[in-house]
Amino acid sequence: MLRVNIQKQDPDTEDWSLYKTFHTVSENRTGNSEYSIAGSEFSSDMITLKFRYSSAMSKLDGNTQIYRAMIGGNVYDIKSYDDIEYRHQFIKLVVRKLYA
């Protein structure tokens, strides 16, 4: 199990604060791929995370732009939210590591 801190951005101050800590059911690291855009190189670290459904986790649905994930001191942008088969049993998040 992986511990994931979800942070929420305050719309007025744009500061990030802890929303809630979740533990994954499973994870799938899709690895590191490098690609070029307009002469610059970028690295993309994508992780697919699976969580048990909860009302706290469901608040991310449709609001992923104001939430982000912190894993092991690294910041991840939430790219997608999926309530698997809309059964309210598991949530799948795809996150991408942000680089400073």
The rounded distance, in Å, linking the Cα atoms of 76 and 64 is 11
Task: Mark 43-72 as b/e (b = at least 16 C-beta within 10 Å).
Answer: eebbbbbebeeeeebeebeeebebbbbbbe
The domain spans of the chain are 3-97
pTM across the whole model: 0.83
Look at residue 41 in the predicted model and tell me its pLDDT: 44
Give all strands (DSSP E) within 1-100, no chain letters: 3-9, 16-23, 26-37, 40-52, 67-71, 74-83, 90-97
pLDDT tens digit sequence for 5-25: 999 999 999 999 999 999 999
- CATH T-level fold of 3-97: Thrombin, subunit H (2.40.10)
Give the model confidence (pLDDT) of 12-68 as tens digits: 999 999 999 999 998 887 655 544 444 444 445 899 999 999 999 999 999 999 999
